[in-house]
Amino acid sequence: MANKSLSKDRKAVINDIRKKQGRAERVRGAAIVGVCIAIALVIVGAAAWGPITDFFKTSKYDDVALQDIGKSAKAAGCQKVTEMAADGNQNHIATGTEQTYTTAPPAFGPHWNEANVAPADMSRKFYTPGDRPDLEALVHNLEHGYTIVWYDETVSEDELNVLRAIGDKFAGTSNFRYKFIAAPWTAADAKETAVAGDKKTEFPSGTHIAMTHWYADAANPTEASTQKGVFQYCEGVSGEAIKDFMEKYPYTDSPEAQAM
């Protein structure tokens, strides 16, 4: 009888130990799963944080008037608007053909004309160096009355966020007064600009932003003698300067104002 009692006691002890071990293993398993979930959340959160912060960087301007975004024209060091005789109206060259422009950046000239290539779609208001259309396509946008705000490779991330916010002010394709594009001026573009045989590859010293527009007399838009390239250079981004520029040179004053 004593042996049977001892056997039962040992079995009870063993079963108790096994139960404790099982609970411990389940706790460890749950802890491992919890750690894995936490790591996954951190990874996903890190990936999402960039777009979220970019959203808030621009959306904070939703209730801010265009002229109050960025610096004032004076604080941004905006130079006087200049004009020069323009040419190239309806001068379509084969898509893929590189055109040498005479200004940095261009405001007029020969350009591509191919569906889904040129002009660039009005729905896009801001481009990066990685997705910007070719110069020859954007010049076609200028012919249609767009104002293009170009930024060089030295602008800060803060200035780019301001430009994105300004682009948001011109969202949509139904209002032709919103013919606006912000686009980079890159080192590669330097190869497509020349003045009297001398390379003109950069904006005027100290400036990093340029606005261009292709002007034509609204009463007689196809008259070549009235057409002008319009330029304004700034040290920084100014919503006030952009607003003034686009009001003085609206889309209606261009060779092909009614084309998208």
Matching residue, tokens 């108790």: 16
Tokens of 66: 């265009």
CA distance 15 to 19: 6
CA 34 to the chain's CA centroid: 40
CA gap 121, 104 in Å, rounded: 22
Number of Cβ within 10 Å of residue 241's Cβ equals 27
pTM: 0.76
Q: Is 88 exposed, middle or buried (0-12, 13-18, 19+ CB in 10 A)?
A: buried
Q: Is the pLDDT score of 227 beyond 80?
A: yes
pLDDT digits (tens, 9 = 90+) for 62-96: 889 999 999 999 999 999 999 999 999 999 999 99
Q: CB–CB of 249/219 below 8 Å? A: no
Are 78 and 204 within 8 A, CB to CB?
no
Instruction: Check residue 194 and give its pLDDT.
Output: 63
- Amino acid letter for position 181: I
pLDDT for 205-214, tens place per residue? 999 999 999 9
Residue 35: HSE in the Cβ half-sphere, 13 Å Cα cutoff = 6
Q: What are the tens digits of pLDDT across the range 1-28?
A: 555 454 555 665 556 656 666 565 565 6
